[in-house]
Structure 1
């Protein structure tokens, strides 16, 4: 359980629809019933197939499920049509507001989206919701993220809290809160972070003490960085809980409480605006002797830790569709700028260097869309499919690509990008929030690597054990040494369009390298692998790029086979993308196999130690003399 142990130790992550007769309308206001069309429902979703073996994890073993090479279609034709009919007025409204974003008021947009039924998205149908599947939810977030603060809002103040309530709450709690969340009357938010402790359970100071009469709890403590806390009226509060004697003796457990804003002793302070994501503020919420009824415990009294880990793990923060939405907005602005500008008396759009940047951004968007909707598709098509690794790789890949491509595009815009009245730098700051404020790249990389290597260790432990003990198993080691330069025969090209044969062969080489370096890492370091963070970073990138290539080929093959518009350009893009990914993976593989003395890792460690000891830069100035 290397990956889960790592999550527990760090705790740094900000972590179908069927027609039913019961619908909870009695607690909803008359205004909501008059303005929102609750009769609008989507057709029944596709029937999920039986669970398959974990797909991305098995790539570490060199095992390939060819059934998943066919790009998933997670909607019936009727549901697909009606979903996009529902989405169309939302897109139209946001597009109109994008023409003059400075004049947009947050409250006006949220009010209009409420009337359009956006807050029904993640709520189950029997509680007045639409119960969108993962693919539909990702598309909605992508559309809303044309305003980055709005994408963040729908995730932090709707999707994440609703998911926790839907999976952990009692039927009475769901009936009380979910219908009003669907109408927008209740705005939920989650309270994790505390001063000097982050989300580390061992240092959480908030305490919820059970009364002597065993009927209510008393909550005391402060929560920092609460997303839109001053606009919210329902708090999901993580707190230590138990009798006073248990808490004082260190026997408390982590619990989650549903706290209404009209309960006593709740105050707001330190409302802070972020550098990025304007209109998405945070604040400190203080609870002083707040009385919470006993039936406001969410799930079991001891379930707080599992909720925290599962909801905040990399991949569960819905960052990927937000990055796609913001990058699409940026490329529209950039294209308009390029077509209107001249450079050295020549049309800017005719410069090859400009075309290169536009092409790279478009290729990145294509791969980001491919990897996201491939993953959501298999989550929707298969029952309880293990996609923990896929989701983490999707998030990491999309966030990094988004930031990189926006920065490249700013080089074309030049000095104009630095003007305060222009939106370009603001877009970069919005994108940076996904990796600086909402996630932590170092730990996300380790999480991806450890998940894959943990799966490999479970399935190849006998093989790894023999490789680590060559004196006891000399024959096994000799057979492995003389036979390890091999190419997996996965026959991937047979499941792609003929024009993508070369891409399929390159994908097989990438999977072979992933399998080889994974075994090498476990052979070298065994259970100490979690301490080799530089090499884990490389494995994370290697696995993520391999998976991205796989999804691009799958999507392109489908597009070419069904005759989508511009499918020939898709094919060219996929083949070039395969070559670029293969070259990068060759480099990563060489760095891993060469070891820390050759690839520079040892040097970096020594430099860091010297700087730590000096508490300053180590090298003498080039103008210094020793004579």
Structure 2
């Protein structure tokens, strides 16, 4: 996938000149050789760059989107991996980062404002993971980035580090001009300055509802920024701000289109004020802008085109949640295991009990799925040119954060009364996991996004078919043939003819049939929901949540089977247990998928949904819980 080769520079004249100037024997002049030290160091860095040659495969059709059409790309069952040389470099570098973060002067840091903390990270090139090597970045691949982010997450400031890297730094890496990168990104990578990503307004739900605005001056040299940004992570200590603002509103008869532009704002300029928002483990700020002058050179990307920047960066951030939540989950499991073993000294039966071992197995199974979809999605970005992983990244965010939250709840319950103390490890991890459930995006909104994006893609391909299904009287022949061809789906017994077992280890044959069943049910569910609701499907949130859950399960099953098959085929240690984890996950996922699809058309389930809807409707009218007290009498 990538080949590494050392870049040699043949211009010996520069090197010899610098060495001659540096090696002067005149004692009085030795104090003047300081500048040459930095030049020599810079030259040494440039001569030791490692050029990375990308050899990506052609883009493939979007995997999850095509599942809704009944198309399964078996190429995705090949779990991604790095070359041996890349693995060695990655293991060495992430090991250095882990060692650094465990040192005393790094462990006790509680703010990204600590310049020594940032510069220590910069010294081992752990800031600007995907930035150019000429800016002292690493040019890491997405899979390598996930490994670094996992290491970040081990530190108490892990969330802040990930927000800084995947939101702020990545925005400049991808979209800033060369001049902006040299002026602002380079000092950030060197640890001298800190960035903050300002997207959320005070009342913010979508980009179109943004209230922060910027207007161009008459001379065309400056933009005047006014507004307020909320929940800005690292906003207290930041030196530079990436601010998204409305720069154009075009009103149509039916709606108004809002254009967004991204600006790089220096925090110490006139008109910028901030206050710290207390109550969060993260360093969160509210930042106000009042007639702030921004040079036109400080626009990131193109004018009026920042909505694409925000969507792309947030998509990358969703994927990074997988690495962070996997590390948090792994640490919680290990801590709980140590707690159980410690308590078993007094009560030897505890760690042998059925409930404890069942909990540990369940947590391991869910963590295995979280790790698998994270690296499968990163691998899709690595292996294929400009691969569409929009839905896959959202699935990673939802599944991994829910897995981490479920593990956090199990830990709280298992630890008992000790979890009431804020300094207890279970409480700390629980609070950190909450950030990934709520900050920037909730999982409910993400599930709607997953389902609607999938239906939008499938709806275009199935438009003629859905039209006939919704109008059977005008297409009698098609309707009658459909009754016959669809009879097995109606009775929850689809034809399993994808032959996925051909692409997996034989031990996973039964699990592959579970995946085939779920893929077939997803195809059937997609047709059902479009036929049932038509264009009104956007407002049918309950059905959309169920469809999203099915999509998540299908993708997760694909990831765990691909990973387990690869591990067992190459003989990784404990790979037989990976087969067990994958098989069990697929079994439970099959039951969830079966239940979700059946609820689309079982009369009892339809009535249940209607009853809950009516109760909720009445409560919104009454503006309170409508049921009388349990001891109330009527006579």
Spell out, residue by residue over 1:176-233, the C-alpha distance to the aligned partner (whole angstroms, 9 max, x if none): 22322221223111212223x2254555443333222222223233222221112111
Q: Compute the displacement of 1:511 (Å).
A: 0.4
Spell out, residue by residue over 1:455-512, the C-alpha distance to the aligned partner (whole angstroms, 9 max, x if none): 2111111111110110011111111122112314111000001111111111100101
Do the aligned residues in 1 keep the contact of 2:94 with 2:147 (CA within 8 Å)? no
Which of the residues 227, 250, 267 maps onto 1:261? 267
- Structure 2: how far apart are the matches of 1:507 and 1:116? 43
Task: Show the counterpart of 1:76.
Answer: 83
What does 1:477-626 correspond to in 2, within 5 Å? Answer: 477-484=479-486, 485=488, 486-594=494-602, 598=606, 600-626=608-634
Q: Compute the displacement of 1:114 (Å).
A: 2.6
Task: Show the counterpart of 1:125.
Answer: 133
Which of the residues 192, 207, 212 maps onto 1:206? 212
Quickly say closer, same or farther: Cα 1:103–1:301, change in 2 above 3 A: closer
Q: Compute the displacement of 1:553 (Å).
A: 0.6
Task: Show the counterpart of 1:272.
Answer: 277
Spell out, residue by residue over 1:316-374, the C-alpha distance to the aligned partner (whole angstroms, 9 max, x if none): 46211111111111112111111100498334212221111111111111111111101
Which of the residues 440, 443, 446 maps onto 2:442? 440
Do the aligned residues in 2 keep the contact of 1:17 with 1:130 (CA within 8 Å)? no
Do the aligned residues in 1 keep the contact of 2:234 with 2:284 (CA within 8 Å)? yes
Residues 1:365 and 2:341 are matched in the alignment: no
Which of the residues 212, 216, 226 maps onto 1:220? 226
Q: Compute the displacement of 1:20 (Å).
A: 7.8
- Structure 2: how far apart are the matches of 1:200 and 1:67? 35
Quickly say closer, same or farther: Cα 1:43–1:370, change in 2 above 3 A: farther
- Structure 2: how far apart are the matches of 1:58 and 1:370? 20
Quickly say closer, same or farther: Cα 1:20–1:456, change in 2 above 3 A: farther
Spell out, residue by residue over 1:34-74, the C-alpha distance to the aligned partner (whole angstroms, 9 max, x if none): 6999466556255101111111111111111112211112x
Range 566-575 or range 596-605, more displaced: 596-605
Range 34-43 or range 328-337, more displaced: 34-43
Residues 1:420 and 2:422 are matched in the alignment: yes
- Structure 1: how far apart are the matches of 2:57 and 2:385? 6
Do the aligned residues in 1 keep the contact of 2:122 with 2:190 (CA within 8 Å)? yes
Task: Show the counterpart of 1:329.
Answer: 331
> SS at 2:432's partner residue?
helix
What does 1:320-399 correspond to in 2, within 5 Å? Answer: 320-342=322-344, 345-399=347-401
Larger Rg: 2
Residues 1:186 and 2:188 are matched in the alignment: no
- Structure 2: how far apart are the matches of 1:313 and 1:105? 26
Task: Show the counterpart of 1:234.
Answer: 240
Kindly report the root-mean-square deviation, in angstroms, between the aligned alpha carbons of the 2 structures.
2.9
State the TM-score, normalizing by the size of structure 2: 0.87
Do the aligned residues in 1 keep the contact of 2:366 with 2:585 (CA within 8 Å)? no
User: Which residues of structure 1 form unaligned runs of 5+?
Assistant: 1-15, 23-27, 244-249
Quickly say closer, same or farther: Cα 1:32–1:483, change in 2 above 3 A: farther
Residues 1:157 and 2:159 are matched in the alignment: no
Quickly say closer, same or farther: Cα 1:437–1:58, change in 2 above 3 A: same
- Structure 2: how far apart are the matches of 1:508 and 1:261? 54
- Structure 1: how far apart are the matches of 2:618 and 2:37? 68
Range 549-558 or range 357-366, more displaced: 357-366
What does 1:21-170 correspond to in 2, within 5 Å? Answer: 38=45, 41=49, 44=52, 46-73=54-81, 75-95=82-102, 107=114, 109-147=117-155, 149-150=157-158, 152-170=159-177
- Structure 2: how far apart are the matches of 1:97 and 1:539? 48
How many residue pairs match? The answer is: 593
> SS at 2:615's partner residue?
helix
- Structure 1: how far apart are the matches of 2:391 and 2:152? 26
Range 105-114 or range 281-290, more displaced: 105-114
> SS at 1:231's partner residue?
coil
Task: Give the number of the structure with larger relative contact order, counting CA–CA contacts within 8 Å between residues 6 or more apart.
Answer: 1
> SS at 1:63's partner residue?
coil
